Chain A
Amino acid sequence: MSQQALVTLQNVGKTFGPVTVIKDVTVSVYAGQVQVLLGENGAGKSTLIKMMAGVYQPDAGHIVVDGQTVTLPTTRAAEDLGIATIHQELNLVPTMSIAENVMLGRMPTKHGLVDRSALRNRARAALALIGLDVDVDTLVGDLGIARQQLVEIAKALSINARILILDEPTAALTRHETESLFAVMADLRRRGVGMLFISHHLDEIAEVGDTVTVLRDGEFIAEVPASTPEDDLVKLMVGRSIEDQFPRVTGDVSQASAILTVDNLTSTGSFSDISFSVKAGEILGIAGLVGAGRTELIRAIAGADRYTSGTVAVRGRHLPNGSIQAAIAAGIGHVPEDRKGQGLVLDASVNDNLGYATLASTAKLGLVDFAGQRSRAGEVATKLRIRMHTIDQPIGALSGGNQQKAVFGRWIIAASTVLLLDEPTRGVDVGAKVEIYELMNAITAAGGAILMVSSELPEILGMSDRILVMRDGRLAGELTAAEATQDAVMTLAARDVDENHEQR
């Protein structure tokens, strides 16, 4: 490439205390190109881009912008050079409106006061770019995780950056919104914006990328064109090939009895009249667009929210409305959609986080069974291959994918037999995904049942034995694994969807 790079990280390194996270990595972003960063959970992708964003300073090497060596002591310094970043973890103020969040730090003013109408208009324009249609006065805290992600994207887009860093922007999105984002990226690319894109969805790489930089354990492995076949990318990334991305082993469930039965479940304003059952040994997938009521349904079953009418039963026993403890006692385990906000206590150790669900049940006379909790946590951490420095380190310091595995691990320890999974592999790398899928197989093989909400259609199609599709809070249809195709699911999920999406 003869053209000068917009920004280059030149032989950078980064250590946290005794841990070396990035070793001698070089990566560049060129105008009008999308550079993809690929690597397993904990490979160092987020750490790398944080050096470009002014969040961390490299301990070795340097940063070059437009041919000039620069230091980026603050995120503001990076923004001033035209570098905007969409971080993996959301950085929004839940108690402020969408408009205020989008324009945070850049509030338009008139006579020294916030110009509220300009604020709203600029925010609306930013939201329109990615096709998010909600009132800009809505509080961000009232939005689901996917919409929050869209607000975060709108915020970065509204900066008019020359360099846009996107750290797993699509992890929380359904295909529909992902495509809106890709359309925006295509437009930005035509306008000469350089982009750095991170995703664990390999199919997205060829779609939006130009070149791919592969990292493993913080080291540079290779730079290859984005058109490289997925299997080769996987091999570069994990060092071995993965035979089957969706290794679902289906048992014969025709004779099995229903474990989880949901009858006419209604929660006013979220979903209505939902009835289904999941049999022992079965994985039931729930597909739908963002806002279809899937998360609300899962939370109601888990006892996290109260419902208006209907019943939930496990093995024929009705569960009381709104009781998480009763649900857990009946064998339910709930992996919520937002690991940072709902799944983990970030300041607490990996050990503690893995053990919360069994803290009380394993205690004797109200005293914590420290030794037992510790050995169980250690076992599960090894089984799930959670990458960490020690099990006593705060879980907030783990990479996103490893945090996700820990939320999952809590219910493995609790020996839950009915798992309610809300985006169970969000942000998890291909290798670890397969490990989680194997665990799901093991749970169903042992007679457990799994209800899985996922926005990743390939995952729904690849792992479910049956698929329910929700639209606007209602069941729009049911498909067997044999009948289900992306088209069939999308047709049910969005009747009014345009041609483009139906063709995928």
Chain B
Amino acid sequence: MSTTTLPAKRRGLDYKKFLANNGALVGLVVLCLALFIATPDFLTAQNLLNIGIQVSTVAVLAFGMTFVIVAGGIDLSVGAVAALSAMSSGWMFASAGLPGWLALLGGLFIGALAGTINGLANAYGKLPSFIATLAMLSVARGLTLVISDGRPIKMPAEVSFLGGSLGPVPMPIIILVLAALAASFLLNRTVIGRSMYAVGGNAEAARLSGLPVKRILVTVFALAGLFAALAGLLLAGRLDSAQPQAAAGYELDAIAAVVIGGASLAGGLGKISGTFVGALVLVVIRNGLNLLNVTSFWQQVVIGLVIALAVGIDVLRRKTRSS
């Protein structure tokens, strides 16, 4: 009775496995094909660039959310933190007179700081992440209004550059790719990234194995805050100004993207590539419905159904795999 290694799976099964593990990707392809057939406006360079720009904000937010969800938590504050970071950046530039590049870094710092506070409240203050980040949502949105007095603030050129183009390629798309690579590297290659899966899968087992669970949680939320800040700056760069109500409700899009991408809200599962596909699914559906002249009211209904469908399929898939 030695270690039993059974013969590897037959090749024929592989495409089935691929389908089962990449349901969201298959859905995305089908969706794109359908839109391609339904409207000539879909497959144009302009529309695809539009989709790229729109997905950048959602995806960058969702990358940060992926860390949190993999580690078994949830972050409701990312939209508000994105707005606060952009607004702080604008304030540092316009009111405090800091140089633009410093204001940009300052904005990122504020996001990471807000995330760190979430993490401290969750890991050390023992607040459930749902509650800690719900409180942060309110605080961050409130502070954004306080700083701006409810009015938009002009962004420095360095931030506006993030919303511009490098040659023919929009900057948000470049940032998106860089953020995806960084997030995926972090999650897959680093000790802290691999530890997130352990903490989300079974925090007590992770702790007893010597993983610094509390520090990991603080880092996870700090990263989510940092990515939220980046998303906020992207958005502000595009509009050339920080809006007090920017990114309101985006946390739900981010959570939806992560979950459509195959992560489990119970923790321990999730991938950056999945999240990216999840974000694309959301944005392409919105884009397609716009092209087809569906009102935004109905769009909300459709998006809700898509989330329920995607997660429902996923749950079914896991059930059939485990029995």
Q: A residues touching B (Cβ–Cβ < 8 Å)?
A: 17-19, 40, 42, 56, 217, 238-239, 302, 304, 324-325, 328, 334, 336, 341-348, 352, 356-357, 359-360, 363, 366-368, 381-382, 385-390, 397, 410, 431
List chain B residues, Cβ under 8 A from A410: 209
Q: Is the CB of A382 within 8 A of B191?
A: no
Name the 7 nearest CB pairs between A and B, nearest first: A345-B201, A356-B209, A328-B210, A345-B202, A363-B191, A347-B268, A357-B209
Taking CB atoms, residues of chain A closer than 8 Å to B205 are 341-345, 356
Q: A19-B6, A342-B205, A387-B4 are in contact. List 8 more A-B contacts (CB 8 A).
A: A18-B13, A348-B268, A352-B194, A363-B190, A363-B191, A367-B190, A368-B190, A397-B322
Residue contact B208 to A304, C-beta cutoff 8 Å: yes
Q: A56-B323, A359-B194, A363-B191 are in contact. Are A385 and B209 (CB under 8 A)?
A: no
Q: Is the CB of A381 within 8 A of B210?
A: no
B227 CB to nearest A CB, Å: 18
B210 and A385 contacting across the interface, CB-CB below 8 Å? no
| Contact status B202-A346, CB under 8 Å | yes
Query: B69 to nearest A CB, angstroms?
Result: 14
Q: How far is the CB of A504 from chain B (nearest CB, A)?
A: 32
Chain B nearest CB from A239 CB (Å) reads: 8
Query: Would you call B1 an interface residue if the criterion is a C-beta within 8 Å of the partner chain's C-beta atoms?
Result: yes
In the complex, are the beta carbons of A388 and B4 less than 8 A apart? yes
B residues within 8 Å of A by Cβ? 1-7, 9-10, 13, 189-195, 197-198, 201-202, 204-212, 268-269, 322-323
Q: Report Cα–Cα, A42/B201, bound state, in Å.
A: 24
Chain A residues within 8 Å of B197, by CB: 345, 348, 352
Instruction: Give Cα A341 to B202, complex, Å.
Output: 7
- Name 8 interchain pairs, CB-CB below 8 A, sorted by A: A18-B13, A56-B323, A324-B207, A325-B210, A328-B210, A359-B211, A363-B191, A385-B1
The listed residue with most A CB atoms (<10 A of its CB), out of B193, B209, B268, B322, is: B209
Kindly list chain B residues whose C-beta atoms are within 8 Å of the C-beta of A336: 208
Q: Is the CB of B206 within 8 A of A356?
A: yes
A367 CB contact (under 8 Å) in B191, B207, B323: B191
Q: Across the two chains, which residue of chain A brings its CB closest to B201? A: A345
Q: Check A18–B6 contact: CB distance below 8 A.
A: yes
A344–B189 Cα distance when bound, in Å, is 21
User: Cβ of A19: which chain B residues have Cβ within 8 Å of it?
Assistant: 6
A359 touches B3 (CB 8 A): no
CB of B103 to closest CB in A, whole Å? 29
A407's closest neighbor in chain B, by CB? Answer: B205
Bound complex: CA of A215 vs CA of B206, how far in Å? 35
Count of chain A to chain B residue pairs whose CB atoms are closer than 8 Å in the complex = 103
Given A18-B6, A304-B207, A342-B208, A366:B192 Cβ within 8 A: yes
A325 touches B212 (CB 8 A): yes
- Which secondary structure dominates chain A's binding surface? loop
Residue of B at shortest CB range from A216? B1
* Chain B CB within 10 A, most for which of A239, A348, A382, A387: A348
In Å, the complex CA distance between A431 and B2 comes to 12
Nearest CB of chain A from residue B210's CB, rounded to whole Å: 4
A432 nearest CB across to chain B (Å): 9
**Which single member of B191, B207, B323 contacts A368 (CB below 8 Å)?**
B191
A352 and B198 contacting across the interface, CB-CB below 8 Å: yes
Q: Are A357 and B190 in contact (CB under 8 A)?
A: no
CA distance A347 to B270 in the complex (A): 12
From residue A415, how far is it (CB to closest CB) to chain B in Å? 13
Task: Name the CB-closest residue of B to A411.
Answer: B209
Residue of B nearest to A342 (CB): B204
Cβ-defined contact, A389 with B6, below 8 A? yes
User: Judging by beta carbons under 8 Å apart, are B190 and A334 in contact?
Assistant: no
Query: How many angstroms from the CA of A284 to the CA of B250 in the assembled complex?
Result: 58
The distance in angstroms between the C-alpha atoms of A345 and B199, with both chains bound, is 8
In the assembled complex, which residues on chain B have CB atoms less than 8 Å from the CB atom of A334?
Answer: 208
Contact at B195–A359, with CB atoms within 8 Å? yes
Q: Is A368 a contact partner of B2 (Cβ separation < 8 A)?
A: no
- Whether A341 pairs with B204 at a CB distance below 8 angstroms is yes
**B contact residues around A328 at 8 Å (CB):** 210
Minimum CB–CB distance for A57 against chain B, Å: 9
In angstroms, Cα B76 to Cα A217, docked, is: 49
Residue of A217, A348, A368 touching B201 (CB-CB under 8 A): A348
CA distance A324 to B203 in the complex (A): 14
Give CA–CA (A326, B206) in the complex, Å: 15
Is B189 a contact partner of A367 (Cβ separation < 8 A)?
yes
| Contacting pair A366 B212 (CB below 8 A) | no
Complex formed: what's the CA distance from A360 to B195 in Å? 9
Q: A56-B323, A366-B191 are known contacts. Are A357 and B1 too (CB-CB below 8 A)?
A: no
CB-defined contacts of B322 to chain A, threshold 8 Å: 397
Q: How far is the CA of A41 from the CA of B210 in the complex (A)?
A: 28
B1-A387 in contact (CB<8A): yes
A314 CB, nearest partner CB in chain B, Å: 15
CB distance from A227 to the nearest CB of B (A): 26
Give the residue name and chain of the B residue nearest to A410 (CB): B209
In the complex the two chains form, what is the Cα distance from A360 to B323 in whole Å? 34
> Closest Cβ of chain A: how far from B202's Cβ, in Å?
4
Q: Which residues of A contact B3 (CB under 8 A)?
A: 381-382, 385-388
CB neighbours of A385 from chain B (8 A)? 1-3
B59 CB to closest chain A CB (Å) equals 24
On whether the beta carbons of B190 and A366 are closer than 8 Å, the reply is yes
Partner of A18 from the list B4, B9, B195, B204 (CB cut-off 8 Å) is: B9
- Kindly list chain B residues whose C-beta atoms are within 8 Å of the C-beta of A366: 190-192
Decide: A238 near B6, CB < 8 A? Known: A324-B208, A343-B205, A346-B202.
Answer: no
Shortest A19–chain B CB gap in Å is 6
Question: Which residues of A sit under 8 angstroms from B7, Cβ to Cβ?
Answer: 18
